[in-house]
Amino acid sequence: MLSAENYPFEGFREFRRTTVAVPCSKSVAQRAVLAAALAAGESRLANYAPCNDIVGAVEVIRGMGCRIASDGTTLHIEGVGAERLGRCTKIETGESGLLTRLLTPLASHISALNGGAPVEISGHGSILKRNLHEAVAALREAGVHCSAREEGYLPFRIEGGITRREISFSGRESSQTVSGFLMTLPLLQDATVLTVTEPSSIPYLELTLRTLTRFGVRLNREAFYDGVCGGTPSKIVFSVPGRQEYRPSDVFLEADWSSAAYFAVAGAVASSLGRTEGITLRNMRLDSLQADEKILDILRSCGADVSVAPADASARGDMPGDLQNISVTATGRRLKAFEVDATHCPDLFPILAVLAAHCDGTSRIAGVGRLTQKESNRAETIYAEFRTLGARIDIRGDEMFVTGGPLHGGDVRSHNDHRIAMSLIVAGLFTPEPVRLDDVKCIDKSFPSFLDLLARQE
């Protein structure tokens, strides 16, 4: 594997890949790993590929007493069941915001099982700089005592269980906290009604609901809209029966659309410039519920051709689900500017800045407000680092405007943000001078094989 330890890192100067298979989604994997821990018995998670965030989830449940083994690309988890988690008093979540938010409600349940004994959640690196005040506020709304450094920063000290049977909080800043509650509420003795106002990243809530269904957990939900039905609901009400048990399950961990987006954009730009004929993303799921699958619609709106063909069924073994090979090309044409609301897919922002820089005209990307509490303040980071490479970017309110035009090389910073680093490296594929980064080790958070896959000319 290519070393990412010698800095500064000088990016690759060309892109000639025609096909790629990206690893599993960490969003899918982290949810499945926790669900498997809550199910007494063995679950099998196929298409497993480790990254820092997924390994972090595996280590958490190992500390909870689960037995874990890996058989090639299949993870075998012997879950302990929800009622045997009371001995866990400290949880380390690494640098993962998703893992932290999924575990905060569960920590309250563990505390209740242990007679109200405190459970501490901590992490390291960038997560210690992220204000998770909305997770703290949601716990307190549910009747849980939670103390935090400066009212929103790890470590958290959580004491006692969820006591309220009607809970309401805003989901505007993060859907991950909502997902954490949805995974924990079925374990309570009584039914609970959870009202989420201003829900965001709704596809990821759907992803959580799909995971719950796979592990035998059921709940009802009703969406409410202001005015005409359609668009984004103003609130969602979840009715969650209590005393449920997770059941072991076999799950195929589908490929990650966030990771695929870097290669889809690189392939579209390279083919538009006449360097390749496009790229094929192998073994992807089209009904994934991952929000970043939206990259295909965006590329179509830019004028790229997107075609679909069935993948080899052997790719998923005996696991359920249909996989597709997705081809993206823009051979012989200029890409055109696009408009998109990325409120529900904010992780696409950095790579969309790369795409927009290679489109004719000015692209408009809404949803900037979702970027402040990521590994970096991504609005500020995109603005600063891409302008260093010559991008014409403006931010007005909740919208980012990028006017297409040539980029040049330069020295840029990743800000310890994996998505910023990968997007800057993709941008450097098409600059006349090299793009040099101060740090690329952060890429291991989600996509440790990224540099290897990008370097291969296949």
Binding site residues, as ranges? Answer: 26-27, 31, 97, 130, 174-176, 201, 347, 374, 378, 419, 445
Kind and range of the H or E element at 10? strand 9-10
Q: Of 53, 256, 292, 347, which is the active-site residue?
A: 347
3-class DSSP state of 194: strand
User: Is 242 in contact with 191 (CB distance < 8 Å)?
Assistant: yes
Q: Specify whether the backbone of 103 is left (phi greater than 0), alpha (psi in -120 to 50) or beta.
A: alpha
Nearest-Å Rg of the Cα atoms of the chain is: 22
CA separation for the pair 443, 440 (Å, rounded)? 6
CA separation for the pair 184, 219 (Å, rounded)? 12
Q: What are phi and psi of 415, to 5 degrees?
A: 60, 30
Question: Which amino acid, one-letter code, is at 402?
Answer: V
DSSP state of 24: B
Q: What are phi and psi of 251, to 5 degrees?
A: -130, 130
Structure tokens at 413: 């910073």
User: Is 276 in contact with 17 (CB distance < 8 Å)?
Assistant: yes
Selection from 173, 187, 174 nearest residue 105 by Cα: 187
Planar angle of CA 181, 186, 190, nearest 5 degrees? 110
Burial grade of 238 (CB within 10 A; 0-12, 13-18, 19 or more): buried
User: Binding site for phosphoenolpyruvate: what residues are annotated?
Assistant: 26, 97, 130, 176, 378, 419, 445
CA separation for the pair 121, 107 (Å, rounded)? 8
Omega before 8 cis (within 30°)? yes
CA separation for the pair 213, 207 (Å, rounded)? 10
Structure tokens at 319: 């696991």
315 Cβ contact partners less than 8 Å away, ≥ 6 residues apart: 282, 283, 323
Residue found under tokens 């538009």: 272
Q: What are phi and psi of 374, to 5 degrees?
A: -100, -165
Burial grade of 73 (CB within 10 A; 0-12, 13-18, 19 or more): middle
What does the DSSP assignment read for 214-252? HTT---EEEEE-SSSS-SS-SEEEEEE-SS--B---EEE
User: Binding site for 3-phosphoshikimate: what residues are annotated?
Assistant: 26-27, 31, 174-176, 201, 347, 374
Active site residue 394: no
Q: Catalytic amino acids?
A: 347
